[in-house]
Structure 1
Amino acid sequence: MKTQEKFRQTVFKIAFPVTLQSLLQSSFSVIDQVMIGQLGSGSIAGIGLGGKFASIYSVVLAAVASTAGIMIAQYMGAEDDKAVSRSFFTNLALSLGLAAVFLVLCMAFPEAIMGIYTKDGGTKELAAEYLRIFAVSFLPMAVSSIVTTMLRCMEAASLPLFASIFALLMNTGLNYLLIFGKWFFPAMGVKGAALATVAAQTVSCGMILLFFGSYIRRRKMKLVLRGHKERERLEAESAGKQYLGILCPMLACEFLWSLGENIYTVVYGNLGTDACAAMTMTIPVQTLVIGALSGLSQASGILIGKSLGGQNYGKAYSESKKLMKYGFLGSVLLSVLLILTSSVYVKIYNVEPWVQETTRQILFAFAVISPVKVQNMILGGGIIRSGGKTKYIMWIDFIGTWLFGVPLALLSGFVWKLPIAWVYFILSLEECVRFCITLVVFRKKSWMKTL
């Protein structure tokens, strides 16, 4: 009984701050879109499309952070401090390199990139303006992501939460001033929303670094890079091969998944500006609902990873089932709540009645499929990856997205010419395919490995 209670307390200690931080980070886009929503459907579509390409960077960065979490958690479970330090700096360097590449692309070719998503000249121009400025936030996001992962593995997940709270308040205030031109500021519309996000992310990064430095000094923990002797060099080479074996499937998985999501957005964009605006209006809610349970996914990866690192395989399997149960109950509750409140939510936006109704229909479809999405997030994104068997998830996601999701999106949107709510629901059925395959892999226990 004491063991059960301790497990719940540990899950709560990690999951609750992570969930709150995820919700606060998601609130950046919610606040942007609700405020921009007062300017009409064109501005909503513009910010949605600009943010969609930026999401490719976000998911690739998430792959690097997830790899860092897998390795750091297992090495902490094995009490290998040297490997923990090596993993932290390797992932930090890679994250900054990715941020630089995406920043250059978005600064140099925003119009060309947005031209892929929409043929509407006005919407393309707004999206390009938003993307060019928003891309500056990629660098602080890279640093924050890896440092936050480290803190979570150290069971200090509450520290980044404080930075997110401050950043949310700052983002909200700057949005109000810059979007609508209050006090002595000019009215900048979507540009103002992008600037507010950049400023908030930069300040948040600075605060997280301060918290991190203070925390490791209190714990007298040293993170150093130094020249390796011959034995240490060979260990580093071996770890490097292992690292690439984990990271490359993760990058391929997240990139292909994000590319598939962008194809979905192309389908939505070609259904018309109103349909695209309706889908964009649902994104904050979708992000919040998934974010509300993202802490369980993070906790799954850390706790199961530490158990595997300590070679406690029976404990890892039993705790995995408990985490999946928690996620299912939570997702069903949130789905019911979403169905009951969706009609109220759509009225926040200053858009045409038919756009509001379309948004409500999409939210209903999302509520139906949401419990399966959450199980995939916890089981595939947290539990199975914790053993380092990222190739499993790469192939599962490839099958789900590219053999089912993308073909269904193209058929329902361009061949059957269905309304956007039905297009979204049909393509989302790939989540069910993914879950069935992942559940088989989980029960076979072949993912339970120690690095």
Structure 2
Amino acid sequence: MKRIKNNFLLEKNFFKTVFAIVLPIAAQNVISFGVNVMDSVMLGSLGDVAISAANLGGQPFFLLMGFGFGLSSGGSVLIAQYWGKKDMARIRKVMSLSMKFVFVMAVLFTLVCTLMPSAVMRLFTPDLEIVTAAASYLQLAALAYLPYSISNNYIMSLRAVEQVKISAAIYGVSFFVNVFFNYGFIFGKFGFPALGVRGAAVGTVLARCTELLLALLYMYFGEKRVHFRLRHVMEFDKELLPDYIRHSLPVVGNELLWSFGVTVISAILGHLGSVYVTANSIASVANQLALVFVAGVANAAAVLTGKTIGEGNRERTRKVANTLLFMAVCIGCISCVLLLLGRAPFLSLYKVSQQAYDAAWHILTVVALVQLCAGYEITCVVGVLRGGGDTRTSFIIDCGCQWLIGIPLALFAGFVMGWPAHLVYLCMRMESPAKAICCALRIHSGKWVRKVTLD
């Protein structure tokens, strides 16, 4: 018992703080999961081509999310530690820098995807029917990039100062907006035109604009802790720019390479056949559900480790990390069991071909087994190491294992050996146990605890 107390935090107030962060973020992730399920179920009723087109049409957005998450997370590394010092002026400066970079990136993505959607989609699949449908979806969906990027950046910055409830509220409203307009525009209900795949894009754009409107309303009328306003984005202060770039670049590179790696896997499966694109689309939704609580714990780890370092308590930081990593392992084991038991009822939601159903079943089995390692390594990479200021090591572990282990094995399995999709997916996910081992070694060394704030 003494050893447990020396290595873990057992304080009641600590767990209250953890769950105050985890539960709203988990709720937000459940809402996002619900949106994806409803989208895929509605589009799945139109056939394999529709669901594949929406999946591939969403890949540029996935890359943009990688950029946005990296820029926002890099800022959050600094914000969390300044939060520990209660330095609100510098928190606002970091938020301003982060918002500027996110804005520029979103505009670039929007221009490329609206002006040349077919060229972008041909990078993912040679199937002309899917390219045509996906390009029509992408050209509309790209209009959601800018409002999403601004609102998401603001929400992620607030998480670093332990303001998380607003995100669940905003995404809760967005869920109903998305489902209502998707249903209306996909099938031509409520007097709307029946647009099929393009209808899903219209619903997404309206939902993202709703999120931005609600975020701005909260910024001006509800947020009382940081007092960040849009006028701060127009200000430019060089004081924190070097720190922001130094800590954001590894995270941006990490998220970009990781996101690009996932799109490479989608491209590999796309070249194996549209059936496997459909199966991977379904499995991706299940994987998102499995990581709902892990993502919450990872966010809590990033905030609380950064805050504790900012307070100057190194020993407590180590205990915070150990406790949250143990929680993530337990959640990963539970997710594995639930996924294995829930494959049949989950797949029954989709009206797809038998071949797509069988491929999805096998991929879901792999997704379930990977959870045994994923909870630990995701919480460590996204949470503990980044919150601790060790963004460079986080980048090396995450992208190194993906690009030196996962992607080469997937390319070999898919194009050299000609293995089926679930074995290609298994090879790709071998990166997860490799990451877990590297993370455990780094945590044990204690070298990940780094102060990144100015005095």
Q: TM-score range by the shorter chain?
A: over 0.9
What is the RMSD computed on CA atoms of the aligned residues?
A: 1.9
CA contact (8 A) 1:44 1:281 kept: no
Q: Secondary structure of the residue that 1:270 maps to in structure 2?
A: helix
Q: Which residue of 2 aligns with 1:128?
A: 135
CA contact (8 A) 1:168 1:200 kept: yes
One-letter amino acid of the counterpart of residue 166, structure 2: L
Q: Which residue of 1 aligns with 2:71?
A: 64
Deviation at 1:3, TM superposition (A): 6.6
- Residue among 20, 29, 44 paired with 2:36: 29
Q: List alignment gaps of at least 5 residues for structure 2.
A: none
Higher mean alpha-carbon deviation, 40-49 vs 203-212, is at 203-212
Aligned pairs for 1:46-445 (under 5 A) are: 46-216=53-223, 218-219=224-225, 221=227, 225=232, 237-445=238-446
Give the number of equivalent residue pairs. Answer: 444
Distance 2:115 2:12 in 1: 53
CA contact (8 A) 2:40 2:51 kept: yes
One-letter amino acid of the counterpart of residue 388, structure 1: G
Q: Which residue of 1 aligns with 2:49?
A: 42
Deviations 1:154-209 (A, max 9, x none): 32211121111111011111111111111311211110001101101111221122
Over 3 Å counting, the alpha-carbon distance change for 1:181 and 1:414 in structure 2 is same
Q: Which residue of 2 aligns with 1:12?
A: 19
Q: Secondary structure of the residue that 1:293 maps to in structure 2?
A: helix
Distance 1:170 1:62 in 2: 23
Q: List alignment gaps of at least 5 residues for structure 1.
A: none
Distance 1:185 1:227 in 2: 39
Over 3 Å counting, the alpha-carbon distance change for 1:74 and 1:42 in structure 2 is same
CA contact (8 A) 2:88 2:226 kept: no
Deviations 1:210-265 (A, max 9, x none): 1232233x45846674999xxxx9xx545221111111111111111111111111
Q: Secondary structure of the residue that 1:417 maps to in structure 2?
A: coil
Distance 2:142 2:211 in 1: 16
Q: Secondary structure of the residue that 2:45 maps to in structure 1?
A: helix
Distance 1:227 1:91 in 2: 12
Distance 2:265 2:10 in 1: 45
Task: Give the fraction of aligned pairs with identical amino acids, expressed as a percent.
Answer: 26
Distance 2:335 2:270 in 1: 28
Higher mean alpha-carbon deviation, 169-178 vs 150-159, is at 150-159
Higher mean alpha-carbon deviation, 345-354 vs 13-22, is at 345-354
CA contact (8 A) 1:281 1:359 kept: yes
Deviation at 1:141, TM superposition (A): 1.2
Distance 1:130 1:427 in 2: 28
One-letter amino acid of the counterpart of residue 23, structure 1: V
Q: Secondary structure of the residue that 1:21 maps to in structure 2?
A: helix
CA contact (8 A) 1:117 1:269 kept: yes
